[in-house]
DNA sequence: GGCATATAGTTAGTTAAACAACTAAATGAA
DNA sequence: TTCATTTAGTTGTTTAACTAACTATATGCC
């Protein structure tokens, strides 16, 4: 018995993720306006390296929910921008460990401030308890499909 | 006074839209498995044409939250697949009206069933009232940033 | 009518995602 | 030790998004 909670007219936004698209575009514009020449996707990789760098590309795949070719090319472009460096692992010669450069470390504070500003705009007028419920529902969706 | 509702550790999923990415991938896999050779993005255009075709490309931009070059190329590819046809508007020679072919009309029922199945999997175990709140929050986010 | 402006759509260039096919290195079982 | 399997990462191809620059047509003001 399917839980037929969705009427057809309601399918669209959930599938296409208009809200997260709007958030990403807003943040990308803030980056551009601030003269920060990085993409949202590059930022999402840096985000996990700021928590702790020296991660392998595979670990970045898991953290960012991207496949291996996507991470290969994102790391390629981040290396071109001199924001990260690939360092071969001593233990396992298949593995690259990805380290932040000094320039990337400088980006953290500024971009995090812009990201918080975007979320504050996005969620203006939404009570905290409803935000919590929304986050929890999205987490279940992710866990159900992963 | 900003409503500083997000702590740093909670930024990531909201911005990157992992839940909607998971939904879109799941549905794309269902299309592939069923032998339906369309992308989610193409489906999102067809979705609005199934409601009513003969829309202009600009109307499709607004409906799908995409810019004009994206719609130009999606319509290009849908035309190559013989799923839509561009028809010049009689009133305004700048405008193309986009009409579904018979083949596209046949796709509607099957793809809508798969989309509902994806959403039922995604939302399994989530009570209806929490789904409603989540949808409303995402709508506010979209309205706030659009 | 004539001209500035706005609107509809296209084209070009860069970045990214999905998939398949590939190389190199590590693992594990006989 | 050897050989199949697994894991880490790369490369090639197609589709799509974003920006900027462009063409063609319509609108509105004088």
Distance B1 CA to C19 C1' (A): 47
Report pLDDT digits (tens) over B52-106.
Answer: 999 999 999 999 999 999 999 999 999 999 999 999 998 899 999 999 999 999 9
pLDDT category at B10 given cuts 50, 70, 90 is: low
Residue A127 lies in a domain: no
Mean pLDDT over residues A96-104, rounded? 97
**pLDDT over 80 (residue B6):** no
Residue B6 lies in a domain: no
Distances (CA, A) of A52 to A37, A92, A98, B18, B93: 22, 20, 10, 21, 57
Residue A61 lies in a domain: yes
**pLDDT over 60 (residue A77):** yes
Q: How far apart are CA B35 and CA A61, in angstroms?
A: 28
Gap from B31 CA to chain A (nearest CA, Å): 14
Query: Nearest CA to B116 among A45, A135, A9, A69?
Result: A9
pLDDT of residue B28: 96
Mean pLDDT over residues B25-36, rounded? 95
B8: Cβ–Cβ under 8 A, 6 or more apart, which residues? A112, A116
Q: How far apart are CA A31 and CA A26, in angstroms?
A: 9
Which CATH number fits the domain that encloses residue B130? 1.10.10.10
Residue B5 lies in a domain: no
Q: How many domains does chain B have?
A: 1
Q: Which residues of B touch A47 (CB under 8 A)?
A: 11-12
Report pLDDT digits (tens) over B112-138.
Answer: 999 999 999 999 999 999 999 999 999
Residue A69 lies in a domain: yes
Interface residues, strand D, Cβ cutoff 7 Å: A 21, 24-25, 28-29, 32, 56-58, 61, 68-69, 71-73, 75-76, 86, 92, 94-96; B 39, 41-42, 66-70, 73-74, 77, 92-94
Note whether B123 contacts A6, CB cutoff 8 Å.
yes
Q: Spell out a b/e string for B63-99, using b for 16 or more CB atoms within 10 Å of the CB, else e.
A: bbbbeeeebeebbebbeeeebbbeeeeeeeeeebbbe
**Structural domain for A75, as ranges:** 16-112
């Amino acid at each position: 018995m399917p839980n037929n909670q969705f009427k057809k007219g309601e399918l669209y936004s959930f599938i296409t993720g208009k809200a997260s698209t709007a958030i990403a575009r807003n943040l990308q514009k803030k980056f551009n306006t601030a003269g920060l020449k990085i993409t949202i996707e590059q930022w999402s990789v840096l985000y996990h390296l700021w928590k702790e760098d020296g991660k392998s590309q595979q670990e970045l795949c898991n953290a960012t929910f991207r496949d291996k070719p996507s991470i290969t090319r994102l790391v390629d472009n981040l290396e071109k921008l001199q924001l990260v460096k690939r360092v071969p692992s001593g233990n396992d010669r298949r593995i690259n460990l990805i380290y932040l450069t000094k320039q990337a470390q400088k980006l953290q504070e500024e971009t995090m401030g812009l990201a918080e500003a975007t979320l504050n705009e996005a969620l203006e007028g939404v009570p905290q308890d409803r935000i919590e419920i929304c986050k929890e529902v999205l987490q279940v969706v992710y866990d159900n499909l992963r």
